[in-house]
A and B are shown apart, each in its own frame.
Chain A
Amino acid sequence: MTTETALQTAGTPAFYVTEEEHPHSSTLLGFWIYIMSDTLIFAVLFATFGVLRDRYAGGPTPQEVLEIPTVALNTAMLLISSITCGFAMLEMVRNRKAATLFWLLVTGLFGAAFVGLELREFFGLVAEGAGPQRSAYLSAFFTLVGTHGTHVTIGIIWLITLMVQIARKGLIHENTRRLMCFSMFWHFLDVIWIGVFSVVYLLGVL
């Protein structure tokens, strides 16, 4: 008698957590795991840089070649592009195509400004004889900062293809999923840049 009522009130017994497990789309989790593996690539490059950071081989030291004001400007570009990417995501959720495209364009322009400033810095270094072949320090510097810059460049190419797709097909499910992956990637690049400007530039010129 009592067990019967107990069973009735409990309803169908559930042996799994319905809300927590089994995400409906595994794409975002998969992309997160890609980002984590990319983090490991950067960790290796940071470790290499940390070991080689004072191996100047008689060549230029960070104090001589790094320009902190340029890096400050660069950091601002990337941080602003990060928040405009967030604005694009908010417009995407509201299903406003034109506004989404506008903020994506702004994001791309700030990203391009970042890459442009970084390329100018790199060409300047090579021109004054501080290229990657000069010392172990400079090799590690160019590899770490260059890998980040390559990621940003690829991110911009991805952004342009996404903008074309959104312009042609609208904010359909496939495009919003891709946008969320892109947004994750872009914010991730900003996180890596925090490590770069702190360790490579600010600690470098101390």
Chain B
Amino acid sequence: MSSDAHATHAADGHHALADAPHGTLKGYLTGFGLAVVLTVIPFWLVMGNVLDNAVATGILIMVFAIVQIVVHMIYFLHLDAHSEGGWNMLALIFTVVLVVIGIVGSLWVMYHLDLNMMPGMMTGHPG
């Protein structure tokens, strides 16, 4: 079984190509369509001043961004739990954890540092 698979892999000389996911035309077009919709809506929200509430608009923009990143990962980068024996997904999860800790942690710590600063302790920041 496994020796057969190896034989065909060796024979065609394109084994990296045969193994790696490269998607289909339908997949690319689906991803592109979704990406266009997920890009146009946040731009429309901002340029058309659709919502009066800036906080709600901001949250919506971030939601659309995160959804679009997932769409790109699935349809353009062809990521699933099985690519490269699952190691791609493992590396991605590890990276996402680091990214979230880094960004959320920075914003959180620096925000509280600002709040706890006495006015006048920061030079060049009139307060």
Contacts and interface: CB of A to CB of B under 8 A. Distances in A.
Interface of A: 18, 20-25, 27-29, 32-33, 36, 39-40, 43-44, 46-48, 50-51, 55, 57, 68-69, 72, 75-76, 79, 82-83, 86-87, 89-90, 92-93, 173, 176-177, 180, 184, 187-188, 190-191, 194-195, 197-199, 202-203, 205-206
A32 B39 CA distance: 25
Given A20-B82, A32-B84, A47 B106 contact: yes
Contact of B16 (A22, A173, A203): A173
B103 A202 contact: no
20 contacts: A22-B85, A23-B85, A29-B84, A32-B87, A47-B107, A50-B106, A51-B110, A79-B32, A82-B72, A83-B31, A86-B23, A86-B31, A86-B32, A93-B22, A188-B77, A194-B65, A195-B69, A198-B61, A199-B65, A206-B58
B22 A184 contact: no
Contacts of B43: 68, 72, 75, 202
B19 A39 contact: no
Main secondary structure of the interface of A (DSSP, over half): helix
Given A36-B92, A83-B28, A187-B77, A180 B22 contact: yes
Contacts of B68: 194
Contact of A43 (B13, B29, B98): B98
A23 B87 CA distance: 10
Given A21-B85, A176-B17, 7 more contacts: A43-B102, A69-B47, A75-B43, A82-B35, A92-B22, A194-B69, A202-B61
Given A40-B99, A79-B36, A191-B73, A20 B86 contact: yes
A46 B94 CA distance: 18
B46 A202 contact: yes
Chain B, interface SS category = helix
A89 B36 CA distance: 20
B77 A202 contact: no
A8 to B, nearest CB: 16
A23 B19 contact: yes
A43 B101 CA distance: 10
A56 to B, nearest CB: 11
A43 B57 contact: no
A36 B28 contact: no
Nearest to A55: B125
A25 B97 CA distance: 27
B117 interface: no
Contact of A187 (B20, B72, B86, B103): B72
